[in-house]
Amino acid sequence: MASHTYNMILSGGIFIITYIMIILEKLDRTVIALSGAVLMVVAGIITQKDAFEYIDYNTLVLLISMMIIVMLTRRTGVFEYLAIKTVKITRGEPWKLLVILSLITGILSALLDNVTTILLILPITLNIAKDLHTNPVPFIISEVFASNVGGTATLIGDPPNIMISSASGFTFMDFIKNDALIIVPILFLTTYIFLLVYRKKLKTSQEAKLKLLSMDEKEALKDIVLLKKCTAVLALTILGFVFHGLLNFESSTIALAGAVILLIITGIHPEKILKEVEWKTILFFAGLFVLVGGIKASGIINLLARGVIDISGGNTVLMTLAILWVAAIASAFIDNIPFVATMIPLIQDVGVMTGINVNPLWWALSLGACLGGNGTTIGASANVIATGIADEFGHKITFIRYFKVAFPLMILTISICSVYLLVFYLI
């Protein structure tokens, strides 16, 4: 018992110190995350074998594969084409661009998944900002937020929803009827709030507008043959994501198949493309997975989950709201996948032991875990990917800079969901 308590204190200490270091940003965040992961092993919290087992290779392979597809697609010039086209539709007005790009991001994240959407939207955003000589950070933060909001709406939009569907038996349409009902207004509301927050910073010159509006977007396309190949493979990959349940393949397998097929049919040497993959971001994820695995192995996450249920005393209203808020706060600072994995058997046990209707608990877990990821730069995969790519292009989005805007807005979305759950499920 003493050893178990010691491991909880030690793993909790390593976890907190690592996160404080990430927030302070005195060292590179990838180095910090990997250092924390190594300490978990050296301190004996987890074994070397367990450390590798805690890494979610499905997520990493999905990210690497989609990066390869996007890097190959970028060579066609299609992102520049779409950037010019979008600017022409909005007449070069930055505030209109923020609204359109955010809403498109939210919608695509529901239909694809939030990570794939960010990988597709971000190059377009960076090209637009470069051409308009405007700061891309407001656009990126708004899009990241929209990607997590939109991803909450459907079964395939965010990994926690896939896990919840598997455990509860909820269908694609169940998520549309329950999550999407509140997510759609939240997407429009948060986009409007971001517009209010950043409107004064969304500036460009008339000269930059006229220059872009006079450009012929068709001239941006460099390789039509490559574009056709990339578009075909990307469309098939997206189709595979939609039907991955029926195909009985993981999303990572489908994405990897798409990347391999594209490399074969384009004849481009893999070494050239692999150099462009965001390996720093991939290693950062690996470190986080081991770090969270450490506090899971020591029993901290399980203790947190059981505490939610014990404190509520079996009261459905209190339990639902507790799961919603704890899932949101926890998912802002740790990966939501292990937290959801811990909560699923506990919710199932509650249903068996008490006989209550656990449907509100499932929707609370879904909304809390998915929307809670918006709270920090490390709360969700899309956030890490976006800030990593932005940093590579010289636009650093610090933990604090993102937190000051996104965390309060995340709290607002969870407050709205609290009212929604009370009105539609609990009262």
Name 376's Cβ contacts closer than 8 Å, sequence gap at least 6. Answer: 332, 333, 383, 399, 402, 403, 406, 407
Looking at the whole model, is its pTM more than 0.75?
yes
The residue whose two tokens read 């450490």 is: 294
Q: Which of 365, 400, 274, 280 is nearest to 34 (CA)?
A: 280
Q: In this predicted structure, what is the pLDDT of residue 313?
A: 72
Average pLDDT, the chain: 87
CB contact at 8 A, 241 and 66:
no
Q: What is the rounded average pLDDT of the residues 293-301?
A: 85
pLDDT of 96 above 70? yes
Residue 376, pLDDT > 60, answer: yes
Summarised one tens digit per residue, pLDDT across range 234-257 is 889 888 877 776 788 877 888 899
Residues 6+ apart with CB under 8 A from 427: none
* pLDDT at residue 13 tops 90: yes
Distance CA(228)–CA(234), nearest Å, equals 10
Question: 318 phi and psi, to 5 degrees?
Answer: -65, -40
Over 80: is that where the pLDDT of 166 sits?
no
pLDDT band at 2 (very low <50, low <70, confident <90, very high): low
Phi/psi-derived region of residue 313, left when phi > 0, alpha when psi is between -120 and 50, beta in every other case: left
Work out the burial of residue 357: count CB atoms within 10 Å of its CB; fewer than 13 is exposed, 13-18 middle, 19 or more buried.
exposed
Higher pLDDT, 341 or 117: 117
